[in-house]
Chain A
Amino acid sequence: MPDIFIAEPKEKNTAVPEKPYVLEKQERSDGPIPIIQSPMDSNNPVHLFSAFRKNPDGITFRDQEGEETILLFIRHSFITNVRWILAGIFLLILPILISLSLGFFQNPLPSLSNKYYLMIGFFYYLFVATYFYINFITWHFNIALVTDKRIIDINFSNLVYKDIAATKLNLVQDVSFAQIGAIRTFFDYGDVLVQTAGTLDNFTFESAPQPENIVHIIEDLIGKRNEHFV
């Protein structure tokens, strides 16, 4: 008598522990294609002036979960720093311009000895160095992170204001970007808007480099997440 049903022998449990989701560095012409890849293969350090990194190495953040992997590291485009860099350069050469112009006029403070001018000069250049530094760290600490579990937006400005917001990827409903103006188009940066569900705050990554790329990556992550709920 033929057997109607024969149970197949049980295979050994060969389940491999789930690796974190990591973006592949290669991109196709129509956009980035995230592919599961071993995180150990990536070697992508974030430099001091980096504004955009996929799978960054050496970056950790507070409250990071054990298996949480950072997929995208975003700062404002470096071109946004040009204004304060030019202002700083002007401040650097301003004393030279003043001293040159004073050569044509009488010294307004003849009773002051040279040591006063020396100390004021040192103080001035220390002030200019601090101006450079404060503007730099304002740019440096304005970070957006996209991990395989959530999106984190860190705003830091005026040295005393910091705002940290995070949302889970499954709460993200839509991602879009705006790239308005010739300069933004030429240097390829724009604002990325991440819309979240319900009454939760939306996220805006201002002046983010490669905004289209970012939107594609987050859209893909959302799609990947949504597959679990179908």
Chain B
Amino acid sequence: MNTLYKLFPFIQFNLFIKIGFLALDLFFILFLIIAVRQVFTMTTIVNDASNAVIIKGSVILLLLLSISLFLTALVIL
């Protein structure tokens, strides 16, 4: 990588990694949005009163964590 940087000093590799990471995280967020939608649909089909909160809460927590990771990466990387 250092050799590549010497050959092409105008290319900012860290920027590439940042963009790649953000794109990956964005796809991950989209995947989790689908997961949220499916989980809410399935809990409508079969409603388990005692466990629905845990199941729904977990997927929302994952989604919030991935969004916060995306925002953090956007700022600090």
Instruction: Please tell me if the beta carbons of B55 and A123 are within 8 angstroms of each other in the complex.
Output: no
Q: Which residues between 131 and 181 of chain A lie within 8 Å of chain B, taking CB atoms? A: 133-134, 137, 140-141, 143, 145, 154, 156, 159-160, 162, 164
- Provide the main secondary structure of the chain A interface: mixed
Q: Does B1 contact A (CB under 8 A)?
A: yes
B30 to nearest A CB, angstroms? Answer: 12
Indicate whether A47 sits within 8 Å of B51 (C-beta atoms), given known contacts A126-B69, A129-B62, A134-B35.
yes
Indicate whether A140 sits within 8 Å of B45 (C-beta atoms), given known contacts A58-B50, A111-B5.
no
- Among residues of A, the one whose C-beta sits closest to the C-beta of B76 is A115
CA gap between A83 and B65 in the complex, in Å: 26
Q: Does B7 contact A (CB under 8 A)?
A: no
A72 to nearest B CB, angstroms? Answer: 13
A208 to nearest B CB, angstroms? Answer: 16
Q: Of B24, B50, B59, which one neighbours A133 at CB under 8 angstroms?
A: B59
Indicate whether A46 sits within 8 Å of B34 (C-beta atoms), given known contacts A127-B28, A140-B55.
no
Instruction: Please tell me if the beta carbons of A130 and B76 are within 8 angstroms of each other in the complex.
Output: no
Report chain B residues within 8 Å CB of A160.
Answer: 34, 38
Instruction: Please tell me if the beta carbons of A141 and B1 are within 8 angstroms of each other in the complex.
Output: no
Q: Does A5 contact B (CB under 8 A)?
A: no
Report chain B residues within 8 Å CB of A162.
Answer: 38, 41-42, 45
Interface 1/0 per residue, B33-77 and A, CB below 8 Å:
011001101101111111100110011001001100100110011
- Among residues of B, the one whose C-beta sits closest to the C-beta of A164 is B45
Instruction: Please tell me if the beta carbons of B46 and A48 are within 8 angstroms of each other in the complex.
Output: no
Indicate whether A154 sits within 8 Å of B51 (C-beta atoms), given known contacts A111-B1, A130-B32, A160-B34.
no
Q: Does A45 contact B (CB under 8 A)?
A: yes
Indicate whether A159 sits within 8 Å of B34 (C-beta atoms), given known contacts A48-B54, A115-B77, A123-B21.
yes
CA gap between A123 and B5 in the complex, in Å: 26
Instruction: Please tell me if the beta carbons of A141 and B2 are within 8 angstroms of each other in the complex.
Output: no
Q: Which residues between 47 and 78 of chain A lie within 8 Å of chain B, taking CB atoms? A: 47-48, 58-62
Report chain A residues within 8 Å CB of B66.
Answer: 126
| 24 interchain pairs, CB-CB under 8 A | A46-B51, A47-B51, A60-B46, A60-B49, A61-B46, A115-B76, A122-B69, A123-B21, A123-B25, A123-B28, A126-B62, A126-B66, A127-B28, A130-B31, A130-B35, A133-B58, A133-B62, A134-B35, A137-B42, A137-B59, A140-B51, A156-B42, A162-B42, A164-B45
Known interface pairs A119-B21, A137-B55, A137-B59; 13 further A-B residue pairs with C-beta atoms within 8 A, sorted by A's residue number:
A59-B46, A110-B2, A111-B14, A119-B72, A120-B21, A127-B28, A130-B35, A133-B35, A141-B42, A141-B46, A143-B46, A159-B35, A162-B41
Using a CB–CB distance below 8 Å, which chain B residues touch chain A? 1-2, 5, 13-14, 17, 21, 24-25, 28, 31-32, 34-35, 38-39, 41-42, 44-51, 54-55, 58-59, 62, 65-66, 69, 72-73, 76-77
